[in-house]
Amino acid sequence: MQHTLNAKRLLCPMPVIRTQDKIKTLTAGDVLEVVCTDPGALNDVPAWCRINGHKVLETKTVDDEVIIIIEVAE
């Protein structure tokens, strides 16, 4: 299933915390799109995914928004 998390206007580590909390409610194989405005999220959210085993499918910056697409692991 596809999900979206609005983490705009939040500064790190809040986007990471919101991502972490959202993923707890999802199941393996779900895809989560995290939308942030803090450019720090571009490093922090993928770092959190790496250490917790989730797969980052794509990261992109569109205008002032940072978008990270994650596939949830087991």
Partner 1 sequence: MSKQRKAVALISGGLDSLLAAKVMLEQGIHVEGINFFTGFCVEGHTHAIRKKDKAKPKRNNALWSAEQLGIKLHIIDVIEEYKDVLLNPKHGYGQNMNPCLDCKGFMVKKAVEWIKENDFDFIITGEVIGQRPMSQRRDTMPVIQKESGAGDLLLRPLCAKNLPETIPEIEGWVDREKLYDFSGRTRKPQMALAEKFGFKDYASPAGGCCFLTDKNYSDKLVDMWQHRSSRDYELDDIMMLKVGRHIRPNDNFKMIVGRELGENKFMEGYRKVYPYIHCSSHKGPLVLLDGDLKQSDVELAARIAARFGQGRDADEVEMSLTFPDGKNTVLKVKPMPSEEILKEWYV
Binding site for partner 1 (CB under 8 A): 9, 11-14, 16-17, 20, 37-40, 42-44, 47-48, 50-52
How far is the first Cα of the chain from the last one, in angstroms, to the nearest whole number? 14
Q: How far is the CB of 44 from partner 1 (least distance, A)?
A: 5
Q: How far is the CB of 68 from partner 1 (least distance, A)?
A: 14
Which pair of tokens denotes residue 54? 């989730």
Q: Which of 3, 10, 12, 20 is catalytic?
A: 12
- Taking CA atoms, 60 is separated from 67, 68, 74, in Å, by 5, 7, 25
Is 12 catalytic? The answer is: yes
Q: What is the DSSP letter of 43?
A: H
Catalytic residue positions?
Answer: 12
